[in-house]
Amino acid sequence: MAEAPTPLVDYHCHLDLYPDYRRVFRECAQENIQTLAMTTTPRAWPHNRELAGDCPALRVALGLHPQLVAERGVEMALFERYLPETRFVGEVGLDASPRFYGSFEEQVQVFSRVLRLCQEAGGRVISVHSVRAAARVLRMAGEHLDPRRSTIVLHWFTGKLSEAERALELGCYFSVNPRMLSTKPGRELVVRLPLGSMLTETDGPFVEVAGRPAHPRDVAGTLQAIAALRGVNGAEVRAAMLNNMLSLEARHHFGP
Ligand code: MN
């Protein structure tokens, strides 16, 4: 009998935002795609938890997206209530792009509370958005989070290489999606980062592949592209992504 292929890893996607989300949850479970499903508001947590069931391939993160902080900041009380139920947090972070800059100070308040709660709880894996705010995100991480207690995964990182160096010192991982590979700085980052600090993601359904929303299985193309950029073979990168995820998740003790 043929050996099962190394499972794919999509460490940042929004399974609940696909029009046919029940099917996408089911396909990830059936295809054993190791998925970290974001939520964008704490209110979405219970339903996502239920959709994931007890399938070991499906992880659900508790989040409050920085682009929604203006309307949903009040849900921080719910975030705090649900945090003991999960070791995965996301999507959280900061977005200083013009459209969301109006809520930036409130985003900082929310994100610092998220970091402090994760520090207190320990054992959390945190998927972080840092659009035009990499330096601030890293400064806050350095202030509030002991990397021996919880780990940040920088999703779709677009900061400078010097900021990426700082992130590595803080023990961060980087999740890479196809859109990053379509930009020169994104490709440069993917070549410069240690392979051991990288994970694959789709950020589906927001990111498109071939003119349709990316499906978690599309990370197969991303890891081939990473392999080509780094001059190694796809199987090596595929195995590395799974190993990176497993060692990240084994880093911290979670639970009482
Ligand atoms: Mn996202």
Which pLDDT does position 3 carry in this prediction? 78
Q: Are strands 198-200 and 212-213 parallel, antiparallel or unpaired?
A: unpaired
Find the 101 Cα to ligand 1 centroid distance in Å.
Answer: 18
Q: What is the pLDDT along the chain (256 residues), one digit of tens a residue?
A: 677 899 999 999 999 999 999 999 999 999 999 999 999 999 999 999 999 999 999 999 999 999 999 999 999 999 999 999 999 999 999 999 999 999 999 999 999 999 999 999 999 999 999 999 999 999 999 999 999 999 999 999 999 999 999 999 999 999 999 999 999 999 999 999 999 999 999 999 999 999 999 999 999 999 999 999 999 999 999 999 999 999 999 998 775 4
Find the 1 Cα to ligand 1 centroid distance in Å.
Answer: 38
Find the 183 Cα to ligand 1 centroid distance in Å.
Answer: 18
Distance of alpha carbon 192 from alpha carbon 230, whole angstroms: 9
Which pLDDT does position 256 carry in this prediction? 46
Which pLDDT does position 255 carry in this prediction? 59
| DSSP state for residue 212 in the 8-state scheme | E
Burial of 39 (0-12, 13-18, 19+ CB in 10 A): buried
Q: Which of 177, 240, 186 is nearest to 38 (CA)?
A: 177
Find the 157 Cα to ligand 1 centroid distance in Å.
Answer: 11
Find the 203 Cα to ligand 1 centroid distance in Å.
Answer: 5
CA 115 to chain centre: 15
Find the 247 Cα to ligand 1 centroid distance in Å.
Answer: 23
Q: Name the residue type at position 115.
A: L
Find the 151 Cα to ligand 1 centroid distance in Å.
Answer: 17
Find the 64 Cα to ligand 1 centroid distance in Å.
Answer: 11
The phi, psi pair for 61, rounded to 5°, reads: -105, 145
Find the 248 Cα to ligand 1 centroid distance in Å.
Answer: 20
Find the 38 Cα to ligand 1 centroid distance in Å.
Answer: 7
Q: How many residues in the chain?
A: 256
Distance of alpha carbon 226 from alpha carbon 237, whole angstroms: 7
Find the 207 Cα to ligand 1 centroid distance in Å.
Answer: 9
Find the 91 Cα to ligand 1 centroid distance in Å.
Answer: 6
Long-range residue pairs from 183-190, CB within 8 A, at least 24 positions apart, any chain: 185/158, 186/158, 187/229, 188/161, 189/157, 189/161, 189/164, 190/226, 190/229, 190/230
Find the 2 Cα to ligand 1 centroid distance in Å.
Answer: 35
**For 106-128, b where at least 16 C-beta lie within 10 A, e where not — what string?**
ebbebbebbbebbbebeebbbbb
Which pLDDT does position 155 carry in this prediction? 98
Find the 173 Cα to ligand 1 centroid distance in Å.
Answer: 16
Six token digits for residue 210: 């071939």
3 state SS of 236: helix
Neighbours of 33 (CB within 10 A): 22
Find the 205 Cα to ligand 1 centroid distance in Å.
Answer: 9
Find the 229 Cα to ligand 1 centroid distance in Å.
Answer: 24
Which pLDDT does position 1 carry in this prediction? 61
- Which regions of the chain does DSSP assign to beta strands (E)? 9-13, 34-37, 58-60, 88-95, 125-131, 151-155, 173-176, 198-200, 208-209, 212-213
